[in-house]
Amino acid sequence: MVVLIVDGYNIIGAWPELQSLKDHDLGQARDLLIEKMAEYRAFSKYRVIVVFDAYYVQGIEKKRKNYDVEIVFTRENETADERIEKLVQEVKNIRTQVYVATSDYTEQRTIFAQGALRLSARELHIEMRNIEKEIQNEVKSYNQVQNKSKIPIKKEVLDVFEKWRRGEK
């Protein structure tokens, strides 16, 4: 199994589209990162955990799951780095490879010493863009295959068939 642990605010600060969004609405930047990590998770089949500091969100420690992505808000006096180090220790074993996405050099060295591998914010961004392109290509090729019917059928009828196929009424 492969686990990707993401330093949420570090990535938000490093990706241009999230950085500009953060300046206006931090909540939207967090949500967009979570959505992108959900795409990443769906495509890669990796377990994805996104960690946010309580520095920006006051309150007690919270865990939740959105889009099959685990989201962790640290306790008030706990940094994301401390939580990431604990998570690496919890999930790292002989059958699990752990990657930590952060551009924090000190954190990279610490998690590397624990047996995890690092993925810089830039590397994750490039990987995410490649995944998005691959998804677009797959959707495009799927749509081309769908449109090549030998029997001409009106779109309304095709829509009804698609609803039946999906089990919708």
Per-residue pLDDT at 157: 87
Indicate if the pLDDT at residue 66 is higher than 80.
no
- Tens of pLDDT, residue by residue over 85-100, are 999 999 999 999 999 9
Average pLDDT, the chain: 89
Phi, psi of 50 (to 5 degrees): -110, 125
Per-residue pLDDT at 144: 73
Does the domain spanning 2-121 belong to CATH 3.90.940.20?
A: no
Q: Are 70 and 49 in contact (CB under 8 A)?
A: yes
Amino acid identity of residue 15, one-letter, is W
Distance of CA 119 to the CA centre of its chain: 13
Indicate if the pLDDT at residue 107 is higher than 60.
yes
Nearest to 15 by CA among 129, 107, 98: 129
57 pLDDT band, cuts 50/70/90, is: low
Global pTM exceeds 0.85: no
